[in-house]
Amino acid sequence: MGRFRREMYEAYAKQNSGEYTNDENYNAAYRKVKKIKGFYSHLKVYIIVNLVIIVSSLTRSHTGNMIDFSGLSQWHTYSTAFYWGIGLVAHGLSVFGSELFFSSDWEQKKIQKYMDKDASNKNKWE
C-alpha cells in the first residue's frame, strides 16, 4: 500500500473511530475511483484526438486564405469518432455498470412508489 493511500486510510479510520476495521471497503472504493479516473482519461483523449481529426479535415483552398469545409461532410472524418465512441460507451458501461440505470436502491424506490400509488387509489374513494 502506498504512503498516500495508507495515510488516507488511517485518517479515515480515525474519523470513523474504528467503525471499519478491515481494509476491504477502502480498497473497493479505491479501485472504483481508479476505474472512474481511467474512464475520464479515456474520454479526454477521445475528445482531443477527434477534435484534431476534424480540424485537420479542414483545408485551405489554393485560391487565397479561404478555408474549405468540404472535408466536414465526408464519412471518414467522423468514422474514427463513431467506432471509438462505441468502445467508449462500452468502457463507460463497464465502469458505471448497472448503477447507470438501476442504482442499488432502485428496487426499493419502485416498490415504495407502487405502494404509495395503491394507497392513494384506495383513499381516493373513501
Q: What is the pLDDT of residues 38-88, one digit of tens each?
A: 999 999 999 999 999 988 888 765 666 777 777 778 888 899 999 999 999
Q: What is the mean pLDDT of the chain?
A: 79
* Model confidence pTM above 0.75: no
Rounded-to-integer distance, Cα 87 and Cα 119, Å:
45
Residue 89: pLDDT band by 50, 70, 90 thresholds?
very high
Question: Which bin fits 102, alpha (ψ -120 to 50), beta or left (φ > 0)?
Answer: beta
* pLDDT value, residue 18: 46
**Three-state DSSP state, 32:** helix
